[in-house]
């Protein structure tokens, strides 16, 4: 196409030069008649202009824009379900846990850090703690990602006060090794030891209390999910699965860190297993 364009330009130039030469020769050889009426050159008459028929403008079809659906929060566990609550511990001002106690607490790199001094009576001398301002729904799975430094006495208490009555499903280390303890008032109903727990290791702790009193709890390593160090299900009475329970996270001595919490509504018989 480019070569054809050059030839047209070239021949067009020759045609224009030839036309001017003929006109100049004719003018020199003809004596003008001043009285003659000039014959109009056909090219002097402007060509008739046809009015173009307007064509209908095709209107674009508007596709209504849809509001993007927010992506669901990835679950800390691999079972089917839906995250209905999450806490990333990004700021003390936005925590869904009310902090109390005499110990230290701060948010560092998205972790809630609870610290209490070492003591000969760690459970008596105070604590750094936080109570959830929400109550997980019975049947939902609660998952914490946490780590505790060596020698720390700590606890994850799932508890309910009804008047003077106390019911608690408490994962706690208070000197006898990590245990899952079931309390009714001051009476310890059941103890399940977590024998393979190691300090300074990130763990997921998953707990589910169903309305019929079935309680399932698991612990597994974050960096080695196949290393499940605790997996137990116990059948209790419905008092252990009724609404109103809250979580208390606490350090009686030493330092513990919590990276994330999720409440998951399970589907298809999902549990909190990794």
Q: Given pLDDT bands bounded at 50, 70 and 90, which one contains residue 40?
A: very low
Average pLDDT, the chain: 79
Residue 206 in domain: yes
Distances in whole angstroms, Cα of residue 92 to Cα of each of 61, 111, 131, 147? 50, 10, 13, 19
Residue 9 in domain: no
Question: Per DSSP, what are the bridge partners of residue 116?
Answer: 254
Residue 42 in domain: no
Q: How far apart are CA 143 and CA 225, in angstroms?
A: 14
Question: Tens digit of pLDDT for each residue in 105-143?
Answer: 999 999 999 999 988 787 776 789 999 999 999 999 999
Residue 201 in domain: yes
Which distant-in-sequence residues (6+ apart) come within 8 Å of 106 by Cβ? 92, 112, 113
Q: How many domains does the chain have?
A: 1
Whether the CB-CB separation of 96 and 249 falls below 8 Å is answered with no
Residue 68 in domain: no
3-state secondary structure 249-273: EEEEEEEEEEEEEEEEEECCCCCCC
Q: Which domain holds residue 259?
A: 81-266
Residue 262 in domain: yes
Residue 44 in domain: no
Please tell me the pTM assigned to this model: 0.70
Question: Tens digit of pLDDT for each residue in 82-98?
Answer: 999 999 999 999 999 99
Mean pLDDT of 197-215: 97
CATH code at position 234: 2.60.120.200
Q: How far apart are CA 154 and CA 173, in angstroms?
A: 5
Which distant-in-sequence residues (6+ apart) come within 8 Å of 229 by Cβ? 194, 195, 196, 197, 203, 219, 220, 221
pLDDT score of 86: 94
CB atoms within 10 A of CB 249: 22
Residue 224 in domain: yes
pLDDT score of 122: 76
Q: Given pLDDT bands bounded at 50, 70 and 90, which one contains residue 175?
A: confident
Q: How far apart are CA 168 and CA 194, in angstroms?
A: 17
Helices (H), the chain: 2-29
Nearest to 235 by CA among 206, 268, 208, 262: 208
| In the predicted structure, residue 4 carries a pLDDT above the cut 60 | no
Mean pLDDT of 48-53: 48
């Amino acid at each position: 196409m480019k070569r054809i364009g050059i030839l047209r330009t070239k021949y067009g130039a020759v045609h224009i030069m030839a036309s001017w030469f003929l006109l100049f020769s004719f003018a020199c050889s003809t004596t003008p008649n001043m009285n003659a009426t000039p014959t109009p050159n056909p090219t002097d008459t402007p060509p008739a202009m046809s009015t173009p028929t307007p064509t209908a403008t095709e209107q674009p079809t508007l596709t209504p824009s849809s509001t993007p659906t927010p992506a669901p929060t990835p679950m800390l566990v691999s079972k089917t379900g839906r995250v209905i609550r999450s806490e990333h511990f990004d700021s003390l001002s936005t925590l869904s846990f009310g902090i109390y106690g005499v110990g230290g607490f701060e948010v560092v790199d998205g972790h809630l850090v609870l610290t209490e001094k070492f003591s000969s009576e760690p459970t008596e001398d105070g604590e750094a703690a936080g109570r959830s301002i929400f109550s997980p729904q019975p049947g939902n799975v609660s998952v914490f990602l946490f780590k505790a430094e060596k020698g720390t006495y700590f606890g994850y208490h799932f508890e309910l006060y009804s008047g003077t009555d106390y019911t608690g499903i408490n994962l706690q280390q208070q000197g006898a090794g990590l245990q899952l303890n079931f309390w009714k008032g001051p009476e310890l109903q059941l103890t399940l030891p977590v024998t393979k727990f190691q300090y300074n290791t990130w763990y997921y702790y998953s707990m589910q209390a169903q309305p019929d009193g079935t309680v399932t709890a698991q612990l597994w390593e974050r960096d080695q999910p196949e290393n499940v160090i605790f997996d137990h299900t116990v059948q209790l009475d419905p008092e252990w699965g009724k609404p109103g329970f809250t979580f208390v996270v606490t350090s009686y001595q030493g330092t513990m860190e919590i990276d994330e919490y999720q409440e998951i509504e399970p589907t298809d018989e999902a549990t909190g297993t990794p």
